[in-house]
């Protein structure tokens, strides 16, 4: 079952729409005959992701940052829904360019929320599981306390900036009656995702296809839950189209847990690769003192109760989908 398109043609503004998740969301909406306006500065997005979209009626692309968009007010006045995906992405980028991370995640969100609030346009804000920080809980639920690491470790700048985005969005909801839905994404993966900024699964798949070593950072016993981008898009749209979701926070992710070492073995076996494993200390991969979470598993009961949807694509199928695009 898929999310139902609205009867009237919907016009959606997607920030970061040339990125991995944004481009899949764009394609999905256009397939439902919606109109889509994408704003993206292409700092991490890829124009090739929008090749199919550019051939569709109702698609409009604006190259630039949200804060530099001179027509932002008039664009927001014309659209029905904002889906805010634009953000600094990837652990590599966050650690190496903390100023860019903070400025992108904080300032661009502030500008967008202000414009949306002026016209009372509903906003779906994509946040991240990183906001759960260093918590040792086995499963993360939306109402949990959050434990962020110290500011001397740059990886936490991303978590902190996205958490401030959440606070700001909910403040606009409270003070200015802005309809807001916040989603915390857990390790979304699939075709078009780049390993350029440290994303583990596309790195593994590309190495396996080339029969090169799969580089595992740390001891490989840290575990994650990987969610298909197609499942993520379905969840995003259902939440955007559910009035009862307004003003709330929702986890989006698969609940099938796997260690990074086992993930590497699964990639190798699924793709019949001859690759070996190579373990790399965190200090060499990122920076001295780098902190990682041993587990990150979402509770998605709130998502199910609100939308009747659970992410469900299995990991071998996701691996094959990624490989088909990289081969």
Q: Return the bridge partners of 204, or none.
A: none
Is residue 4 predicted with pLDDT exceeding 80?
Answer: no
**Domain 11-188+229-253+298-312 sits in CATH 3.40.50.10610:** no
> pLDDT tens for residues 35-83?
999 999 998 899 999 999 999 999 999 999 999 999 999 999 999 999 9
Is residue 180 predicted with pLDDT exceeding 70?
Answer: yes
Rounded to whole angstroms, the Cα distance separating 251 from 183 reads: 6
Whether residue 212 contacts residue 146, with contact meaning beta carbons closer than 8 Å, is answered with no
* Packed helices 229-240 and 20-31: angle between N→C axes, nearest 10 degrees: 60
Whether residue 58 contacts residue 36, with contact meaning beta carbons closer than 8 Å, is answered with yes
Tell me the mean pLDDT in the region 209-235.
97
Whether residue 82 contacts residue 121, with contact meaning beta carbons closer than 8 Å, is answered with yes
Cα distances from 207 to residues 19, 131, 232, 274, in angstroms, run: 22, 30, 25, 10
Tell me the mean pLDDT in the region 265-273.
98
| Residue 302: per-residue pLDDT | 98
| Residue 327: per-residue pLDDT | 65
Which of the two residues, 286 and 45, has the higher pLDDT score? Answer: 45
Nearest residue to 181 via CA among 116, 108, 98: 116
**Which residue in 132, 158, 197, 286 is the catalytic one?**
158
Verify whether residue 158 is a known catalytic residue. Answer: yes
pLDDT band at 5 (very low <50, low <70, confident <90, very high): very low
* Domain extent listing, the chain: 11-188+229-253+298-312
């Amino acid at each position: 079952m898929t999310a139902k398109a609205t009867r009237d043609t919907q016009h959606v503004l997607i920030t970061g729409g040339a990125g991995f998740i944004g481009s899949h969301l764009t394609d999905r909406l256009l397939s439902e005959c919606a109109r889509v306006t994408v704003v993206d500065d292409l700092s991490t997005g890829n124009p090739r992701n929008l090749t199919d979209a550019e051939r569709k009626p109702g698609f409009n692309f604006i190259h630039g940052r949200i804060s530099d968009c001179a027509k932002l007010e008039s664009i927001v006045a014309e659209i029905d829904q904002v889906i805010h995906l634009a953000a600094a992405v990837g652990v590599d980028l966050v650690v190496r360019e903390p100023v860019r991370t903070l400025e992108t995640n904080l300032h661009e969100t502030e500008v967008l929320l202000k414009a949306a609030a002026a016209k009372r346009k509903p906003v779906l804000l994509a946040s991240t599981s990183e906001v759960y920080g260093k918590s040792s809980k086995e499963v993360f639920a939306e109402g949990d306390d959050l434990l962020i690491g110290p500011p001397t470790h740059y990886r936490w700048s991303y978590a902190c900036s996205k958490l401030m985005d959440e606070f700001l969005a909910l403040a606009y909801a409270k003070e200015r009656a802005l309809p807001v839905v916040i989603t915390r994404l857990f390790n979304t993966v699939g075709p078009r995702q780049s390993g350029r900024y440290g994303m583990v699964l596309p790195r593994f798949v590309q190495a396996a296809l080339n029969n090169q070593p799969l580089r595992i950072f740390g001891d490989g016993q840290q575990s994650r839950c990987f969610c298909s981008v197609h499942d993520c898009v379905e969840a995003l749209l259902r939440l955007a189209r559910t009035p009862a979701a307004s003003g709330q926070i929702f986890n989006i992710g698969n609940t099938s847990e796997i260690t990074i070492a086992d993930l590497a073995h699964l990639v190798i076996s699924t793709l019949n690769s001859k690759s070996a494993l190579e373990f790399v200390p965190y200090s060499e991969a990122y920076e001295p003192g780098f902190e990682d979470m041993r587990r990150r598993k979402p509770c998605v009961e709130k998502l199910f109760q609100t939308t009747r949807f659970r992410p469900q694509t299995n990991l071998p199928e996701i691996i094959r989908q990624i490989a088909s695009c990289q081969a």
